[in-house]
């Protein structure tokens, strides 16, 4: 065992029990996580929300993002806690808990960070998640297809008016047509970020878009 692991063991985000370095919560607290299971329901609320904003083929969400719940803690650690490895854990949960493995896509893409924010954070919280899915699903992941044109405050820190002002925030870096693209993001809130990217993709002939969210509120 790494000496640092002896001094600073990995602990469950919820109960603080010592757990394996490959885990984020202990077995008992895992049962407290609110998975959406939306593929088992006749009513896919995420797809309904997306459909109001842009044409969407499929919409999948892993976690229910609620105030002060464990799902929120996990996502916040992934984004702000310098714990990029959580992305791999979440990807494995996505394969286990959703029907994404039964759907067919041509390419995976993620919502990009602006280079300024990427330098500050040190990693894009979605890349390891998407890379893990790409490997397991055998679908290519293109992390350069979408470019963020402007640096904006984090979605959670922005006012509703600022969230709505997403025109021209993203652009496509290369021509792509006739593809079914799975667009991946961490949390679905207003849907404006996903919508602005989807419409950029749909400008090209015969493209279709599906959505995969780590969490939805």
Q: Which domains does the chain have, with CATH numbers?
A: 1-32 (no CATH), 33-216 (3.40.50)
Q: What is the pLDDT of residue 42?
A: 78
| Region 124-147 average pLDDT | 97
| Region 27-37 average pLDDT | 94
pLDDT at 81 exceeding the cut of 60: yes
What is the per-residue DSSP string for 81-142?
A: SS-TTHHHHHHHHHHHHSSGGGS--SEEEEPPPPHHHHHHHSS-TTHHHHHHHHHHHT--B-
Query: Residue 11 gets which letter from DSSP?
Result: B
pLDDT at 214 exceeding the cut of 80: yes
pLDDT at 22 exceeding the cut of 70: yes
| pLDDT bracket for residue 92 (50, 70, 90) | very high
Q: Determine which of 6-10, 23-27, 28-32, 165-169 has the lowest per-residue pLDDT on average.
A: 165-169
In sequence order, what are the residues at sequence separation of 6 or more whose Cβ sits closer than 8 angstroms to the Cβ of residue 147? Answer: 112, 170, 171, 172, 173
């Amino acid at each position: 065992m790494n000496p640092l692991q002896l001094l600073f063991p990995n602990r469950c985000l919820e109960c603080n029990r010592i757990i394996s370095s490959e885990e984020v919560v202990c077995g008992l607290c895992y049962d407290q996580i609110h998975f959406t299971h939306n593929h088992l329901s006749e009513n896919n609320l995420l797809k309904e929300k997306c459909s109001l904003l842009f044409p969407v083929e499929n919409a999948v969400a892993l976690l229910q993002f609620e105030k002060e719940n464990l799902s929120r803690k996990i996502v916040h650690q992934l984004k702000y806690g310098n714990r990029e490895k959580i992305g791999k854990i979440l990807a494995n949960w996505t394969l286990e808990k959703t029907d994404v493995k039964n759907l067919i896509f041509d390419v995976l893409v993620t919502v990009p960070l602006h280079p300024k924010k990427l330098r500050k954070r040190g990693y894009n919280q979605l890349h390891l998640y998407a890379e893990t899915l790409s490997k397991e699903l055998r679908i290519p992941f293109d992390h350069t297809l979408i470019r963020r044109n402007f640096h904006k405050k984090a979605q959670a820190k922005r006012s509703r008016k600022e969230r709505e002002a997403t025109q021209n925030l993203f652009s496509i870096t290369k021509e792509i047509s006739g593809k079914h693209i799975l667009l991946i993001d961490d949390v679905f809130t207003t849907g404006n970020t996903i919508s602005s990217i989807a419409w950029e993709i749909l400008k090209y002939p015969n493209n279709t878009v599906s959505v995969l969210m780590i969490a939805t509120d």
